Amino acid sequence: MGLTMVTVELRDLAKSHKPYEAPFLVDTGAVDCLVPASKLKRAGIKPEGRSVYELADGTPVEHDYGFARVSFMGAETVAQVIFGPENADPILGVVALDNTGIGVDPRSKKLRKMTAKALK
């Protein structure tokens, strides 16, 4: 699949800090979102735990994670966000997509709002 980008705004849950906004790579192979750690901290998002993640090449890495309000295309959800390395490009994971009912059209590679969320 080609690269799909979308502008995303991340905020702390209380909306007490200035949000972080940037173009994110939409990655349907990634479960969670990922953002450079300093950007999350500046937006008031705090680490809540630590977990092991698998890179595309199969290498396991350990990162902190936290929770943030994730807004894009007029939709908002709360999702787990990985405190990534400083040189990482921001990634929008599939949980945030599913939670908002937004998917990637396989033909056009563009994001589109689903008519309804599946309950089955």
Backbone angles phi, psi at 78, to 5 degrees: -110, 130
Min mean pLDDT across 1-5, 12-16, 93-97 is at 1-5
Where does residue 33 rank: exposed (0-12), middle (13-18), buried (19+ CB within 10 A)?
Answer: buried
With 0-12 / 13-18 / 19 or more C-beta atoms within 10 angstroms meaning exposed / middle / buried, residue 74 is exposed
Domains of the chain, first to last:
18-101 (2.40.70.10)
pLDDT of amino acid 1:
45
| Chain centre distance of CA 71 | 9
- Mean pLDDT of the chain, nearest integer: 93
Residue-level pLDDT at 117: 74
The predicted model scores a pTM of: 0.90
